[in-house]
Amino acid sequence: MGELITPLRGCLTKMHIEPAGRNAPVRYTLRAGDHRLDLNARLGKTLRLTHTGAIACTHCGRATRKSFGQGYCYPCFKRLAQCDTCIVKPETCHFDQGTCREPEWGESHCFQPHVVYLANSSGLKVGITRRTQLPTRWLDQGAIQALPILEVDTRQQSGFVEMLFKEQVADRTNWRAMLKGEVEPVDLCAERDRLLASLDNGLRGLRERFGADSLRVLDVEPVTLDYPVLESPTKVVSHNLDKTPAVGGTLMGLKGQYLMFDTGVINLRKYTGYEVTVE
């Protein structure tokens, strides 16, 4: 559906973000139920979100008093493979032990090519994602630069590679620094070459374990990403819909999954399943 006249009402899902072409900031769309709102067009204007008090599970749709794992009711959170701890820590995959919560889901999501990448969102970091999730993963993190460096056959293998890189590189984004926009560019190709050389023994061990062609070095160019931000906050104040149901102000920017108001910032992905009115 196209953009509707506000106020609109529906349950939040994470914002849709897509590149807009060369030298243009990425485009953001707010999604509330079936409604869509072009957020780039709202920059510099007033925007207000009010939580109605209702929360619906993003998977089964049932009403829940509390959201677990960014949008799930408790039964789904405990039952679904996508909510298992091995998604956050792929190296702990237990599929081969026959204990995967949903073997078919695991086969379709975890036994697919994954990319190990370097990104710069609040400084140099390493990350992993399915090949099909690029560049979405980088946009969700607010990365201003990104570079795929290795491709592997399974999510578990990507976890083992990431563990090696974490010996020398962070794997998390400092979201406050990311939002302040005080991030210096990094020579990602030089960092890739340095890390591949210094971690050669560990990578060789993984190839011996999983096969000579299991870890494939990628020869691609870095990606640069630009976000629609009129003004970055000098001090980051975070809004919380659980404590303050109505939040808003003048929309000053969009980065990662954050709305940046002149009154503070809010991570919309955290409130997946929350029913809100938007005006």
| Residues 131 and 209 placed together within one structural domain of the fold | yes
The predicted-structure confidence for 176-198, as pLDDT tens digits, reads as follows: 999 999 899 999 999 999 999 99
* Total domains in the fold of the chain: 2
Domain assignment of residue 274, yes or no: yes
Q: What is the mean pLDDT of the chain?
A: 95
Q: Is 175 helix (H, G, I), strand (E, B) or coil?
A: helix
Instruction: Report the C-alpha gap between 201 and 160 in whole angstroms.
Output: 13
Task: Decide the pairing of beta strands 114-120 and 145-152.
Answer: antiparallel
| Residues 178 and 220 placed together within one structural domain of the fold | yes
Q: Which amino acid is at 76?
A: C
Say if residue 47's pLDDT is above 50: yes
What DSSP element (H or E) covers 251?
strand 246-255
The predicted-structure confidence for 230-273, as pLDDT tens digits, reads as follows: 999 999 999 999 999 999 999 999 999 999 999 999 999 999 99
Arithmetic mean of pLDDT, 152-169: 97
Q: How many residues does the chain have?
A: 279
Arithmetic mean of pLDDT, 146-170: 97
Domain assignment of residue 98, yes or no: no
Q: What is the pLDDT of residue 2?
A: 44
Q: What is the separation of C-alpha 90 from the centre of its chain, rounded to a whole number of angstroms?
A: 16
Q: Which domain holds residue 239?
A: 8-74+233-278
Q: What is the pLDDT of residue 24?
A: 86
Q: What is the pLDDT of residue 222?
A: 97
Q: Is 29 left (phi over 0), alpha (psi -120 to 50) or beta?
A: beta
Local structure of residue 6 (DSSP, 8 states): S
